Amino acid sequence: MTKINLDLKSKVPIYIQIRDQIRLMIATGEWKEGSQMPPVRDLASSLLINPNTVTKAYHELEREGYIFTRRGMGTFVSDKTESKSVDGNDTAATEIARDFVTRLLELGMSTVQIKTLVDEALNSK
């Protein structure tokens, strides 16, 4: 169904892991504008988590403008995401990078360690 991978040992809450991975899939075009999102219960079932956790992630994404819900029809990727992927201060990539760095700093990593980690990841691709 989805390519969402959860790290249950992480200090990052599960709903944030889900939110960030969905945000990335939308930003990279893996989930296209207008495409239907998996229903909350289906996604929760496939991830073996409580549906309320997925609901919280979806609410965050909706608040941020990445997705929208139509009663009785489901949840869809917003057309506003196109403007988020254009260069500028509020791009999806900038948000993802800020969240990534913030989380690593919260885990106690130094800026040098973060830069090394990113360099290693880029070199492995």
Domain ranges of the chain: 14-123
For residue 4, give both structure tokens: 């969402």
Q: Are 54 and 16 in contact (CB under 8 A)?
A: no
State mean pLDDT over 111-120: 88
pTM: 0.66
Query: Which region among 21-25, 31-35, 79-83, 112-116 has the lowest average model confidence (pLDDT)?
Result: 79-83
Tallying the residues shown for the chain, one arrives at 125
Query: What phi and psi values does residue 108 have, to the nearest 5 degrees?
Result: 95, 10
State mean pLDDT over 75-103: 67
Q: How far apart are CA 51 and CA 40, in angstroms?
A: 6
Residue with tokens 């990593």: 109
Query: Which region among 17-21, 34-38, 103-107, 121-125 has the lowest average model confidence (pLDDT)?
Result: 121-125
Q: How far apart are CA 120 and CA 109, in angstroms?
A: 15
Taking only the tens place, the pLDDT of each residue in 5-51 is: 999 888 899 999 999 999 988 888 888 999 999 999 999 999 999 99
The class level of CATH for 14-123 reads mainly alpha
